[in-house]
Structure 1
Amino acid sequence: MNKILVPVDESSNSMMALKHAVNAYGGDPEAHFHICNVQPTLHTHIRKFLNKKTIAEWQEERAKMAAQSATDFLEKAGVNFSFSYATGDKGEALRDEAQRLDCSRIVIGTAKKNTLSRLFENSTTAKLLEISDIPVEVITGKSLSTLERWGIPAVGASAATALMAAVID
């Protein structure tokens, strides 16, 4: 069976990846799409005041809401699919879920970003590419905004120049 894991949330990039996966692999009667939403782990101070069952119910409800449009799309497409949610670090949780389900590939949507943006943020795609032994297919979204294309590199270059000037003095 051709099992494809597609991480979903409420972003347009995740829906774009899901549509790509269905278009590319949906014609295979052996294809099974598994959509997965990853919920963050609650901070220790918050977990002190809530029991595990309450936390699990809250996370499950949020995950189902985040995956609702993906579920609707897959039902209309008439393909085999299932849903699960995981908690924790997104990259690690998605890799673990793909291994648990014995998936043949992971199809993930991501925004186009420059190298500096990816350097300073916790990129799920970068983490998944780094740690996964399962093939990861990356579907890119819309182009960078003008601010991201020119503003962030300019700020980074200015900060590097100021740092070098401070070190030289």
Structure 2
Amino acid sequence: MNKVLIPVDGSSNALLALKHAVKIYGKDTHTEIHICNVQPKIYRHIGKFFSKGDIQEWQAERAKQAAKSAADYLENAGVSFSFTYVTGDKGEALRDEAQRLGCSRIVIGSAKKNTLSRLFENSTTAKLLEISDIPVEVITGKSIPALERWGIPVIGAGAATALVAAVID
């Protein structure tokens, strides 16, 4: 059985990955599509004001809302699927869920970004590629904006030059 995990968050990139997975794997009767949403962990100092049940209910509602467009797409395409949500660090939670389900691959949608942007952001894709033993298939979305493509590397090079100049003096 080929099990495919697709992280969904309501974004256009997640929907792009879902459409790709349906096109490639969705017609195979030996493939299970599993969509998963990751909810943030509630910090203890905030969680002490709410019951555990209220927090779980809130997270479940947010997860269902984030997965709604993906679920609608799969239903309209006539593809059977399952849905869960998990909490915690996105990369680790997705890897753990894929392992728990016995998935053979993870298909994730990602925006095109340069290396410096991924370094400073908490990129779920980069984290999954780093920690997962399960193959990760990355489906990229639109091109990055010109400011991010050129501005961030130029700023980074300028900062590095200033740092080197300060160390040399």
Query: Where does residue 34 of structure 1 map in the other structure?
Result: 34
1:73-112 to structure 2, matched below 5 A, reads 73-112=73-112
* Secondary structure in 2 matching 1:133: coil
Point out where structure 2 has 5 or more consecutive residues left out of the alignment. Answer: none
Aligned AA for 2:116?
A: L
Q: Is the 8 A contact 1:31 1:80 kept in 2?
A: no
* Secondary structure in 2 matching 1:143: coil
The Cα of 1:22 is off from its aligned counterpart by: 0.2
Query: Where does residue 14 of structure 1 map in the other structure?
Result: 14
TM-score by length of 1: 0.98
Number of aligned residue pairs: give it.
Answer: 169
User: Distance between the aligned counterparts of 2:49 and 2:166, measured in 1?
Assistant: 47
Percent of paired sites with the same residue? 75
The Cα of 1:44 is off from its aligned counterpart by: 2.1
CA-based RMSD: 0.7
Q: Is the 8 A contact 1:108 1:138 kept in 2?
A: yes
* Secondary structure in 1 matching 2:86: strand
Query: Where does residue 166 of structure 1 map in the other structure?
Result: 166
Point out where structure 1 has 5 or more consecutive residues left out of the alignment. Answer: none
Query: Where does residue 134 of structure 1 map in the other structure?
Result: 134
The Cα of 1:74 is off from its aligned counterpart by: 0.3
Query: Where does residue 65 of structure 1 map in the other structure?
Result: 65
Q: Is the 8 A contact 1:9 1:67 kept in 2?
A: yes
User: Distance between the aligned counterparts of 2:43 and 2:167, measured in 1?
Assistant: 38
User: Distance between the aligned counterparts of 1:163 and 1:113, measured in 2?
Assistant: 25
Query: Where does residue 3 of structure 1 map in the other structure?
Result: 3
Segments of 4+ moved more than 4 angstroms: none
User: Distance between the aligned counterparts of 1:167 and 1:52, measured in 2?
Assistant: 52
TM-score by length of 2: 0.98
User: Distance between the aligned counterparts of 1:66 and 1:158, measured in 2?
Assistant: 39
Aligned AA for 1:140?
A: T
Aligned AA for 1:99?
A: Q
User: Distance between the aligned counterparts of 1:76 and 1:85, measured in 2?
Assistant: 22
